[in-house]
Structure 1
Amino acid sequence: MPAASRLDQWRLRLFARSGQLIVMLLTLCLLTLVMMYLGYQVKVSCGGPPFHPDGRSVHFPVGVGTQIAPCYSDLMYLWTGRDINNHVFPYIHGWIDDAGVLHRGVVEYPVASGLLMYLGAIGAHNDTQFLLHSAILLAPFGLAITILLGLMVRWWALWWAATPPLLLYAFHNWELPVVFTSVLAIAVMAFGASRDPATGERHMSLRTSSVIASVVLGVGFTLKLYPGFFVAPLALFVLLYGRTLTDAGSGSWWSRMRAAGLDWVGAVWVVIAAAVTVLAINLPFMLLGWRGWRASLSFQGKRKAVVDTNSIWYWGLRHFTGGTDNTYNSIVGVASPLLILATFVFALYLGYRVWLRDGIYPWVGVSASMLAGFMLFHKVHSPQYTLWILPFFVLLRVWWPVIVAYIAADTILDLTIFRLFGIYTSHSHMKWWVMTGVNVGVWVKSAILLVMIVMFIRVGLREPLASVGRMALPPKKFEKVPA
């Protein structure tokens, strides 16, 4: 066949693939917009006139009439009590008192989230306007997550774009920006490992892509902390990339690891990049308002695992301690961080075992495992955290019935937990289906998270993301490969 004809066929195939990709992304984005629009309509029904003098809608937090999905939103709740309604710049002038109450613009979130809240309040004079402005800020992040997931795993992104969590939580709290950073870091690593059609080489060196991804994770840490956990597996991925213990000599484990020529420089750069990013974003607040900056950390440290933290501790341990007494709080205060730390070490070790077997460290799976352990054992487990874990169900080859079970349990939990809060607050008679729904949601999700601590690392990545990784796989036998 003439060369010109082969070139024409290649161009036709490329055009067809590009057309399919565009149709897929447009469909995913349209579904995302529909889900976020419906989610906004649900949340805004808690607001509207008339308003109290501070801008709080008289309809908040229960809305008007009977609704299937609860309209309560942390976005609207935070309008008062944190000086957001007074447009006070966050952290700089604030403090926390002995009772754990925040004052003068301090919010109980890392500084980047506090800045987004301040921006959302500009021009807003009531909680409903604040919700609208916040939704306008958040929606682009939801679309960007959809696009990145679509590029990496194609139609599997439907689990993100067209399922209840996006409707229920897109505008419940400030989750979409932090989820975007975790997905973007993975996308950066995937793009760096993919081949440039013109040269056949990587688009970026491993060190370059990993440092950029680490910076992104550092930004995520200043939004909601958890992306910062992923720096450790990313650093190990760089450290071990292109190295194996096969034919690395004999002797002790440590001598064989030294013989493998590990990339310590690249791994250290990953850690430094994240640390410098976190410091650069936090340093202005630390210098200009140390007391206010520290107050947000103190608030989280003083939080107790009570009903509104929605964790396994409240729904499990308190039944054995006779309530949320001092014994209960002491056990949670020690057991929670220890179990989280143990899970992190366990996940990193499982990743090391995969590296011994396959020659590459599964940093995405290890990151998902660490997140699952954090969500399971932390004393706070808000329903909207489902948005944190959902992209990993999308990116990794998790069995679809597990995803269905998790989303179903989460939906049941969301439809009942906020009604439970209302019953407790009003001292009304408890409805059996509310308590049943909350317990089903909490324990089914917890059981799945417990299993996924191991399974996330074992299942591997979905296509075509997995193929990108395979193109960059190191040789099975020991060979020092330059970064």
Structure 2
Amino acid sequence: MLAVVLVAGALWTWARGRPLATGVLLGLGTATKLYPLFLLGGIAVICLRERRYRDLADTVLTAAAAWLLVNAPAYLSGAQEWKRFWEFNSERGPDLGSPWLVISQAWHVTIAPHTVNQWSWLLFGLWCVGVALLGLRAPTTPRLAQLGFLVVAGFLLVNKVYSPQYVLWLLPLAALARPRWRDQLVWQATEVVYFASVWWYLGGELAPGDGGDTTTYWVAILLRMAGELYLVAVVVRDIWWPRHDPVRTSTLAQPPQLTTTRSNAVAV
């Protein structure tokens, strides 16, 4: 939850034109969980499109400084303990909620941690390249929430584990990227099904009576992925055809406001 709050704060400060504060919040967020780091990719796309190189440098440098500042005491007082998080994630194989678990169980194959590490990061890298190209070639500059949602969703789709709480990572990004109840409810319906299924699976409630494979849990995993891909597709459409973006269309639909100055009234 701390990482979620920090990411939400970073989105707010970026919208207010405060790159230094955005960098600090993303650095602190990355110190709690890795995924806030991915938002720097969206910021890079925006800054490259708009030639805001100073803002990009300020955000990246302050993020790095904040991350180092809070990690230094832990690393200096116990380097081995500090590394344990990275070692654990590197050593774990296909785990709960991931497509790799479905492949491993459905085809009855053992996928080594090294193999799934390579493939998951390769697929995520290709996904990020696709998001970057989309952001750079879109008719208008995408919003940070849109790019951030796409990158984090891609990470969760190909990652070797999907813990139930990971849905919270996407929540503020999804709410700002596509603020429409219909699309949010479609996505959340699939997440609710998965949330119930993972606990039933761990409790043995989904195990078939004949002792065969737990195909019901596989369906829940694929359904959860389909829900995320649905929202991804809608956000991609909004970026490529901005007239579908509810944030942009609602802004354009607002009538001009009058601002009174000492001399006259000026429409803005």
Q: Structure 1-normalised TM-score?
A: 0.46
How big is the shift at 1:352?
0.6
Secondary structure at 2:189 match in 1: helix
> 1:239 offset after TM fit, Å?
3.6
Identity of aligned residues (%): 24
Which runs of no fewer than 5 residues in structure 2 stay unpaired?
Answer: 240-244, 255-268
Report the RMSD for the aligned CA atoms in angstroms.
2.9
Aligned equivalent of 1:430: 208
1:189 to 4, 14, 20: 14
The 3 A distance-change label for structure 1 pair 381 and 334 is same
Show CA shifts across 1:34-59 (max 9, x none): xxxxxxxxxxxxxxxxxxxxxxxxxx
Partner Cα distance (1:392, 1:452) in 2: 11
Residue of 283, 288, 292 corresponding to 2:77: 288
Query: Structure 1's 284 and 407: CA in aligned 2 closer, same or farther, altered over 3 A?
Result: same
Matched letter for residue 284 of structure 1: P
Q: Give 1:452 deviation, angstroms.
A: 3.8
Q: Paired residue for 2:53?
A: 264
Q: Which amino acid aligns with 2:11?
A: I
The structure with the greater share of residues assigned to helix is 2
* TM-fit CA distance, 1:453: 3.8
Alignment of 1:37-436 (within 5 A): 176-190=1-15, 192=16, 206=17, 209-241=18-50, 262-306=51-95, 309-320=96-107, 322-323=108-109, 325=110, 327=111, 329-354=113-138, 357-358=139-140, 360-397=141-178, 400-423=181-204, 430=208, 435=214
Q: From the superposition, tell whether residues 229 and 337 of structure 1 become closer, same or farther in structure 2 (CA, over 3 Å).
A: same
1:455 aligns with 2:245: no
Higher gyration radius (CA): 1
What displacement does 1:286 show?
1.2
One-letter identity of the residue aligned with 1:187: W
Distance of 1:444 and 1:313 partners within structure 2: 15
Contact 1:369 1:454 in 2 (8 A): no
Distance 2:250 2:73 in 1: 40
Structure 2: how far apart are the matches of 1:375 and 1:268? 27
Q: Shift of the alpha carbon at 1:418?
A: 1.5
The alpha-carbon distance between structure 1 residues 364 and 431, as it changes in their structure 2 partners (threshold 3 A), is farther
How far apart are residue 287 of structure 1 and its match? 1.1
- Of 222, 225, 234, the match for 1:443: 222
Distance 1:239 1:403 in 2: 30
SS at match of 2:204: helix
Give structure 1 stretches of 5+ with no counterpart: 1-175, 193-205, 242-261, 471-483
Q: Is the 8 A contact 2:201 2:207 kept in 1?
A: no
- 2:257 corresponds to which residue? none
Normalised to the residue count of structure 2, the TM-score between the two structures is 0.80
Q: Which amino acid aligns with 1:217?
A: L
Q: Determine the C-alpha separation between the residues in 1 that align with 2:106 and 2:35.
A: 29
Is 1:347–1:369's contact at 8 Å kept on the other side of the alignment? yes
* C-alpha distance in 1 between matches for 2:133 and 2:71: 31
Stretches (4+) displaced over 6 A: none
The one-letter amino acid of 1:456's match is V
Give the 3 Å change call, closer, same or farther, for CA 289–439 of structure 1 in structure 2: same
